[in-house]
Amino acid sequence: MKSDSVKAGIQQAPHRALLSASGFTREELERPLIGVVSSFNEIVPGHINLDKIEAAVKTGISMAGGTPVVFPAIAVCDGIAMGHIGMKYSLATRELIADSTECMALAHSLDGLVCIPNCDKNVPGLLMAAARVNIPTIFVSGGPMLAGKVKGCKTSLSGVFEAVGSHAAGLMSDEDVLEFEEKACPTCGSCSGMYTANSMNCLTEAMGMGLKGNGTIPAVYSERIRLAKHAGMQIMELVKQNIKPRDIMNEKAFLNALTVDMALGCSTNSMLHLPAIAYEAGVDLNLEIANEISAKTPNLCHLAPAGHTYMEDLYEAGGVYAVMKELDKKNLLFTDLITATGKTVKENIEYAINLNPEVIRPIDNPYSEVGGIAVLKGNLAPDSCVVKRSAVVPEMLVHKGPARVFECEEDAVHAIKTNQIVSGDVVVIRYEGPKGGPGMREMLNPTSAIAGMGLGESVALITDGRFSGASRGASIGHVSPEAAVGGPIALVEEGDLISINIPNNTIELCVDEEILKKRKENWKPIEPKITTGYLSRYQRMVTSGNRGAILEIPR
């Protein structure tokens, strides 16, 4: 066992003394040591139930002959961090989660890991760590929140953000907003639409790193506790068979994840996280392949914010495996891959059934013939940008309008809420990328304001920042290169025409190249917005959005 280096032999007597001081018995030390990475905390609603998941995992490990060893991972709630300096820290925590988990697992020579994430950065951060450490690992998330109900209609967190926009437009009273506030988020769990947390938990299942139901069983269901116990038991099988993350997360597994991503209509943040996880797994995942996959992958689900179904509906319809079963009908998946179940993808989905064709459209009757995410390129984004195509209304798939340019999110939100943005405009928010932010803030406030003001069918938004999975509309993010490094988005001026063609995967700044060349000559970098602490170090090391905003040591 790997852990023998800290618990076997005379030389390890001091190590055993310290383990004994922690309360471990000799009998426990004769078993494999399994790290239980728990993201439990008392501020993130998706994490307040993780102590129950942690306890169930520990039970499962012990039942199967292992010794559980719990240690923590931090978590930021993107919703609470939204719209202020807190959002600069959200994406940046992904690297802290990966780094600290690597440190704990390797410093203590653990034999395996059970990772318990739930919300936005914990899932990819722990997947990055799993690929990097490469010891047997399985994931079990905390599960999604149930949808809320306002005036008899299901809703979720995005409904509250949009209610604020509607209030600014005079379309809602204080009492209306209060009703959303009190009823939209009725339980613990990751927010109930196909937002980033649920997207990544579903893709963990699709990649083979979690058991059936990991992405969809609601947080408040007892089945979630049973799943956690089974995950604890299954890690012992993975240790016995020495099945490691890089055996599971190979190139074909990432292509499967992209395919399921397109079918589900996942958050655009998956286009940041999948390349970052692949990087740690030694897989070169060029995002341009996303359009190739999208072209042949029908969009089968319209979960909130794209539609009016929620994670509980996807669960009841058969979950991720039912979606994969539909995709397999047209041979769109690699099914011979080993997974954390100990079985292949083919074996996992063999008996999956689509129980609700309104929630999971059959492969021959999709919402659209192409996938839910598009990668756009053009002179405004030479290295690419992304949009959640499935959440864009048909009339905005092709759009041309004047640029309304803002140097930060706050200025854009003020303009939107004070009626300075009109139908046809293209809102440009720049210097919010990985370096420029720093931290690549999510733009749920401006997108929700646009929707709440009734402009969602006529106004586009472009940024080198990113969007919450709760955003909808023609919201185009991850523009690369970003403004802070002199990307073309830094050269846009008020009133410039911008042409967006999502079906053709293009985005163009309609300005003569000679004029752009002169603007580039006159461009000067802005001073860093933060010069101390973790974000200052992050800013110096982070790469562009099209590379997954990974960290590299500057040369």
Give the residue numbers marked as catalytic. 468
**Could you give the CA distance from residue 19 to residue 108 in angstroms, rounded to a whole number?**
11
Pairing of strands 112-116, 33-38: parallel
**Could you give the CA distance from residue 440 to residue 444 in angstroms, rounded to a whole number?**
12
Nearest to 423, CA basis, from 454, 462, 452:
454
Mapped onto helix, strand or coil, the DSSP state of residue 69 is strand
Please calculate the CA angle 439-480-553 and round it to the nearest 5 degrees.
55
Q: What is the dihedral of CA 410, 411, 416, 422, to 10 degrees?
A: -150
* Count of other CB atoms within 10 angstroms of residue 190: 33
Please calculate the CA angle 89-92-96 and round it to the nearest 5 degrees.
115
Please calculate the CA angle 519-383-411 and round it to the nearest 5 degrees.
60
Task: Output the six-digit token pair for 236.
Answer: 């012992």
**Could you give the CA distance from residue 1 to residue 136 in angstroms, rounded to a whole number?**
12
Contact 139, 117 (CB under 8 A): yes
**Could you give the CA distance from residue 41 to residue 153 in angstroms, rounded to a whole number?**
31
Helices 444-452 and 409-417 cross at an angle (nearest 10°) of 10
Nearest to 206, CA basis, from 254, 167, 172, 250:
254
Task: Output the six-digit token pair for 272.
Answer: 């940041």
- Residue 286 phi/psi, 5-degree rounding, is -80, 120
Half-sphere exposure of 163 (CA within 13 A, CB side): 19
DSSP state letters, 383-446: EEEEE-GGGS-GGGSEEEEEEEEESSHHHHHHHHHTT---TT-EEEE-S-STTTTTS--B-HHH
Contact 385, 477 (CB under 8 A): yes
H-only helix segments in 265-352: 270-280, 289-296, 311-316, 319-328, 345-349
- Residue 154 phi/psi, 5-degree rounding, is -65, 145
